[in-house]
Structure 1
Amino acid sequence: MDLRFPLYVGYRYWRARKANAFASFITLFAVSGIFLGVAALIVVSSVMNGLEGQLKQRILGAVPQLTVYTKAPLSDWTIAAEKLTMLPGVQGVTPSVSTQAMVQSAANIRAVQVFGVFPELAEKLSAVAQHTYSGAFSELTSGQYQVILGSELARQLKVSPGDTVRLLSGDGVVYSPLGPVPSQRKFLVSAVFEMGSQVDAGVAYVHYQDAKRLMRQPSDEINQLRLYLNDPFTAPALAKDVQQILTAQGIEATTSDWRDTYGHLFSAVKMEKNMMSLMLSLIVAVAAFNIVSALVMMVVDKTTDVAVLKTQGLRTSAVMGIFVVQGLLNAVLGLALGLVVGILITLNLNGLMATLGISILGAGQMLPVKLALGQLSLIIVGTLVVTLVATLYPALRAARVQPATALRYE
């Protein structure tokens, strides 16, 4: 079918002044709805993307993203590490150990997750090393029993670098006539880190060998490997490849990832993100289907014209194309305005809020914003598809016009 004639006539009808003022109002309302819906969808989606990315950095950068547990101690962990590092998306692999413990100061006592690391390896890969104050991972020395605490945990314990705390681990329990006695040892607070998330209140780092001694285990045995990933969300997919590589080397192992501890949080964020996108998409859908009303009125208004065109030999598909073009032009206009305004607002959101004196997160806090090209493409395609579907009924109605009936009284 030659599209030039339907495009030409549809464009002329679209530009022409509407004889029906109410149809013009409905068209304006539909275009405005698409414009506002697309702009709001871009802004809200970008903020939700930024929030998810910030949580990923601040939480998953401090906790194990993917951990391998071997049934037997590794004779040479570097061989397995070299194989695992070759997997796509893996930044590095280090030995690790963790234990649930209580940390006690002179002022308070709190539960904490203690991670034992080799500082010279973890400092290159862990995001915590980049957010550490009053010291660094490299200062952790085996046998010195030093600990790095989260800033909120240090505040609750009322300690600072140079103070002493006591760690009590349930993994090193011994039984005495008085009952089970947990393993405990005094540690010197060498530094404080701040990730700006709930991790600051429940995580501590010590040297790997000190952690093993606290747990009353041989300090030279390595049973866990911690994988640092470019994208923590790829951990479930990588876990299968990790097990295949270790199995090929004759190593029996299991894996766990960040979903075991923080999966519920990110599931809630994802659900909220999807629900917000759905609600705003309904605005676009309602606006798109307002085009149905405007086009039906246009079909009624142009019934005589359509009948004349059909007597001149215009095909049914070409008649449909005329009204589809009108609906799509309305959608493209609203979509283009929504994209421009939505992107401009997104890129300057924090500046606009500061100018208007609006502070959602508190003084000095900025909304995280991340504009995703993939989502923009989805918004564009989705809007055009919904609008195309909305134009089909009026177009079919125009195509069914019978010239003899329409021109009977003309």
Structure 2
Amino acid sequence: MNFSTPFFIGYRYWRARKANAFASFITFFAVSGIFLGVAALIIVSSVMNGLEGQLKQRILGAVPQLTVSAAEGFTQPESLRKALSEIQGVKAVVDSASTQAMLQSPSNIAAVQLYGVYPEQIRTVSDVARHTYAGSFSSLEAGEYHVILGSQLAQTLGVVPGDKVRILSGEGVVYSPLGPVPSQRKFTVSGLFEMGSQVDASVAYVQYQDARRLMRKSADGVDKLRLYLVDPFNAPALAAEVRAVADKLGIKVQVSDWRQDYGHLFSAVKMEKNMMSLMLSLIIAVAAFNIVSALVMMVVDKTSDVAVLKTQGMTHGQVMAIFMFQGSLNALIGLILGLGAGVLVTLNINTVLSSLGIAILGAGTMLPAQLSVPQLVWIAVGTLVVSLLATLYPALRAARVQPAGALRYE
């Protein structure tokens, strides 16, 4: 079937749409609606991608992404460590010691998650080492009992580097005639870190062997391994591989990931992102309904022309192609303009906001934006599909025109 003629006629109708001023008016708003909807969807999605990525870096860069533990400890941790490091997607495997603890200063007390680490390991694999100030992880030496606190935690306790805090461990409790006595020891604050997230108020780091002694365990023992992942969001899939590797080695392990403590936060961000995308997609859907209205009026206006074309041998499919091409051309224009504007504003969003005097995250804070090519493709394809579906009803109505009835009084 030859569609060159229908496309040519559809293009002529599109150029001559000003003959019906009201239909032209509706078409203009349909194109504008698609333009605004696509641009807004790209901008908001990119900003949400940036916020999600920044949240992933600031939180998951400071907490265990995947933890492998054994209740009785690992008798040969080297073999398991080597096997786990060979799993694709695992960036590093390090020894870990962690416990719930209370930090007490002369002025306040706070609950924290305490992590025991080796300084040379955390400097190479963790983002938290790059966000440490007023000290460094190199100060964490075995037997010195130094601690590095989050900035908000230090502010809550009212301490600065050089001050001492008492740490009471949730593990290593002994029972005396007076009741349970927690393991405790004084530590010296040797540094602060700031990730710009809630971990600044709830996380502290000490040297690995010091943490083990605080928990009344063997200083050189290993009962937890901490895995750093290329993409922390792949933790659920990698957890199954970790279990399979441990089973092959005959080691019974428990595997946990970051979702247990921070999954609700990322779920809330994902839900908000999906709801924003849905709301902005409705703008495109409303614009598609305007295309339907404009094409229906065009079909009514061109009924006689369609009847003449059908008497000259044009098929139903070719008649449909005329109006589907006309409506799709309007959607394509709005889509191209929306893609261009959305990408341009996203790449320069902080410049645009500063020129307008708008500070969404506060003065001096840059709004993160991350363009996703697959997301752009989905937006473009989705817009074209919705617009194409919107042209079906007017095109079918035009194809059902009966030449005898339409030309009876001509």
Give the TM interval when normalised to the shorter protein: over 0.9
Task: Measure how far apart 1:78 and its partner are.
Answer: 2.5
Matched, 1:46 2:17: no
Q: Show the counterpart of 1:153.
A: 153
**Separation in 1 of the partners of 2:181 and 2:75?**
31
**Separation in 2 of the partners of 1:165 and 1:63?**
22
Residues 246-286 of structure 1 deviation map (CA, whole Å, 9 limit, x = unaligned): 11011111111111000110000000000000000000011
Aligned residue for 1:101, secondary structure, equals: strand
For residue 332 of structure 1, what is the amino acid of its counterpart? L
Alpha carbons 2:17, 2:23 under 8 Å: kept: no
Residues 175-228 of structure 1 deviation map (CA, whole Å, 9 limit, x = unaligned): 111111111000111111110111000000011111111111111211111110
**Separation in 2 of the partners of 1:2 and 1:205?**
73
For residue 365 of structure 1, what is the amino acid of its counterpart? T
For residue 194 of structure 1, what is the amino acid of its counterpart? E
Q: Show the counterpart of 2:280.
A: 280
Matched, 1:396 2:390: no
Aligned residue for 2:170, secondary structure, equals: strand
Matched, 1:298 2:302: no
Q: Show the counterpart of 1:84.
A: 84
**Separation in 1 of the partners of 2:245 and 2:111?**
36
Residues 44-84 of structure 1 deviation map (CA, whole Å, 9 limit, x = unaligned): 11111111011000001100111111243223323212221
Residues 371-397 of structure 1 deviation map (CA, whole Å, 9 limit, x = unaligned): 111111110000000001100000000
Matched, 1:60 2:77: no
**Separation in 1 of the partners of 2:68 and 2:62?**
17
CA RMSD of aligned residues (A): 1.0
Task: Measure how far apart 1:139 and its partner are.
Answer: 2.3
**Separation in 2 of the partners of 1:2 and 1:69?**
68
Report how many residues are paired.
410
Unaligned stretches of 5+ residues in structure 2: none
Aligned residue for 2:19, secondary structure, equals: coil
1:3-14 pair list within 5 angstroms: 3-14=3-14
1:312-351 pair list within 5 angstroms: 312-351=312-351
Task: Measure how far apart 1:16 and its partner are.
Answer: 1.4
For residue 79 of structure 2, what is the amino acid of its counterpart? I
Alpha carbons 2:304, 2:407 under 8 Å: kept: yes
Q: TM-score, normalised by structure 2?
A: 0.98
Task: Measure how far apart 1:41 and its partner are.
Answer: 0.6
For residue 170 of structure 2, what is the amino acid of its counterpart? G
Task: Measure how far apart 1:21 and its partner are.
Answer: 0.9
For residue 94 of structure 2, what is the amino acid of its counterpart? T
Aligned residue for 2:183, secondary structure, equals: strand
Task: Measure how far apart 1:12 and its partner are.
Answer: 1.3
**Separation in 2 of the partners of 1:93 and 1:17?**
66
Matched, 1:354 2:354: yes
Alpha carbons 2:151, 2:193 under 8 Å: kept: yes
Aligned residues: percent identity?
A: 69
For residue 61 of structure 1, what is the amino acid of its counterpart? G
**Separation in 1 of the partners of 2:73 and 2:198?**
32
1:157-196 pair list within 5 angstroms: 157-196=157-196
**Separation in 2 of the partners of 1:152 and 1:72?**
35
Q: Show the counterpart of 1:125.
A: 125
**Separation in 2 of the partners of 1:195 and 1:60?**
10
Task: Measure how far apart 1:132 and its partner are.
Answer: 0.7
Unaligned stretches of 5+ residues in structure 1: none
For residue 274 of structure 1, what is the amino acid of its counterpart? N
For residue 238 of structure 1, what is the amino acid of its counterpart? L
Task: Measure how far apart 1:161 and its partner are.
Answer: 1.2
Aligned residue for 2:100, secondary structure, equals: strand
Deviates more, 1:135-144 or 1:57-66: 135-144
Q: TM-score, normalised by structure 1?
A: 0.98
Deviates more, 1:5-14 or 1:248-257: 5-14
Q: Show the counterpart of 1:138.
A: 138
**Separation in 2 of the partners of 1:249 and 1:392?**
61
**Separation in 2 of the partners of 1:82 and 1:135?**
32
Aligned residue for 2:196, secondary structure, equals: coil
